[in-house]
Amino acid sequence: MGGQQWTPILLSLFMPGILEQIEPLKEAALAEFGAASDLSALEQVRVSYLGSNGKFTAVMKQLGSLPKEEKPAAGKAINTAKSELEAALAERRAELELQAALPKEPTDFTLPGRRRVLGKLHPLTQVTEDIVRSFRKIGFVVADGPEVEDEYHCFDALNTPADHPARDTQDTFYIQPPGAAAEGRAGGLLLRTHTSSVQIRVMKQQPPPVRIIVPGRVYRRDNADATHNPTFHQVEGLYVDRNVTVGDLKGTVEFVFKELMGPETRIRFRPHYFSYTEPSFEIDFSSALTRKMGKEWLEIAGCGMVHPQVFENVGYDPELWTGWAFGFGIERIAMIRYGINDIRLFYENDVRFLRQF
Ligand code: DAH
């Protein structure tokens, strides 16, 4: 018991007093902090002084064994030194962190900046925009209509009778509005099978003259294969004025296709049948592109002079007004233009495909 009481006095006899130890230890620690060349070296220095077995910690531990009257002064000195060390440590750590974050190689500030990879328009959008641009040059405006359409606008008003094959539920996506089945009423709604429905909507909304094109998505119950997809895109055109002729139609189609497919493009009209035009034609075209596909002529669009019954249906006087309409598939144009042999590539969104346009 007696020996333990004497130990502090013995220690203070043989070791320098705490106050004398603090200053040199602090100076040594500060010097080592400054000399630490990276964060892990600094951490080692910190542990060797301030860790639980560190040199500075050891001095702090001596505090408990000091005579009561020396404790306040020694405690104050230790705390001051400790906060000084901690501040120096934090400062050095910040310096070394900054150093670690700086580039290892010298920076060449004259190099061009890093560019973000820019996305591009989908090839179908590009072709659609080209088509729209050509028609705008000759005074057409873009019109739009709903993709969920009713049978009236899609068929009846276009002089397409109820027994027409296009109206078969096997060909077309019909939609049952909520409650319709319960009330025993047929829905009469469907995903539009063509953009021709927009002809009716526009004519019902405005008096002639009309000069519109309608790019848009259409739907059919086709199984997807290399040339079919249940969703695809069309452009509709409609021109109504006085004394419009097949010659105007042919001239317009020729102008646009030459712009789209190259100046040596030729077109020809073949008689056909559509219920909303009379006479009706299919349009074939011929160019370097068709010859590349091994054909002189490729069928590309349907068209004709607007049927008088359609004018009656929208309230235009067929004795006063004449007009023409056409419709064609955008995918087909894009496929011919870019030599794409499978329509499904347009919808897969594989960047290896899309990057090429
Ligand atoms: N609606 C037709 C189709 O989807 C294309 C068409 C043919 C549109 C003749 C017309 C037209 O406006 O006059 O195949």
Q: 193 CA distance to ligand 1 centroid (A)?
A: 10
- Does residue 304's CB lie within 6 angstroms of at least one atom of ligand 1? yes
Q: 289 CA distance to ligand 1 centroid (A)?
A: 23
Report residue 1's pLDDT band, with 50, 70 and 90 as the boundaries: very low
Query: What pLDDT was estimated at residue 182?
Result: 61
User: Helix/strand/coil (H, E, C) string of 210-276?
Assistant: EEEEEEEEEECCCCCCCCCCCEEEEEEEEEEECCCCHHHHHHHHHHHHHHHHCCCCEEEEEEEEECC
Q: 68 CA distance to ligand 1 centroid (A)?
A: 106
CA dihedral of residues 254, 260, 263, 264 (deg, nearest 10):
-80
Which of the residue ranges 10-19, 73-82, 145-154 has the most confident prediction, judged by mean pLDDT? 145-154
What are the structure tokens assigned to 33, written together? Answer: 């902090």
Residue nearest to atom 6 of ligand 1 (CA): 327
Give the global pTM. 0.70
Which pLDDT tens digit goes with each residue over 187-198? Answer: 689 999 999 999
More confident residue, 2 or 290: 290
Report residue 2's pLDDT band, with 50, 70 and 90 as the boundaries: very low
- Does residue 128's CB lie within 6 angstroms of at least one atom of ligand 1? no
Say yes or no to pLDDT of 150 above 70: yes
More confident residue, 161 or 159: 159
Query: What pLDDT was estimated at residue 85?
Result: 93
Q: At CB < 8 A and 24+ separation, what contacts does 267-272 make?
A: 268/297, 269/303, 272/302, 272/304
Out of 69-78, 143-152, 239-248, which region has the weakest mean confidence (pLDDT)? 69-78
Report residue 167's pLDDT band, with 50, 70 and 90 as the boundaries: confident
Query: What pLDDT was estimated at residue 104?
Result: 85
- Of 8, 131, 125, 29, nearest to 74 by C-alpha is 8
Query: What pLDDT was estimated at residue 168?
Result: 82
Contact 112, 184 (CB under 8 A): no
Report residue 219's pLDDT band, with 50, 70 and 90 as the boundaries: very high
Which pLDDT tens digit goes with each residue over 5-32? Answer: 555 555 545 556 788 888 889 999 999 9
Query: What pLDDT was estimated at residue 248?
Result: 97
Residue nearest to atom 5 of ligand 1 (CA): 327
Q: 84 CA distance to ligand 1 centroid (A)?
A: 87
Query: What pLDDT was estimated at residue 187?
Result: 62
How much is the average pLDDT of 312-317? 98
Residue nearest to atom 10 of ligand 1 (CA): 326
Which pLDDT tens digit goes with each residue over 28-59? Answer: 999 999 999 999 999 999 999 999 999 989 88
Mean pLDDT across the chain: 90
Query: What pLDDT was estimated at residue 159?
Result: 95
Say yes or no to pLDDT of 321 above 90: yes
Query: What pLDDT was estimated at residue 161?
Result: 86
Which pLDDT tens digit goes with each residue over 95-136? Answer: 999 998 988 888 888 999 888 888 899 999 999 999 999 999
Index of the ligand 1 atom closest to the CA of residue 195: 1
Report residue 164's pLDDT band, with 50, 70 and 90 as the boundaries: confident
Residue ranges of the alpha helices (H) in the chain? 2-14, 18-35, 39-50, 55-62, 71-101, 123-137, 151-154, 197-205, 246-261, 288-292, 308-314, 330-338, 345-348, 351-354
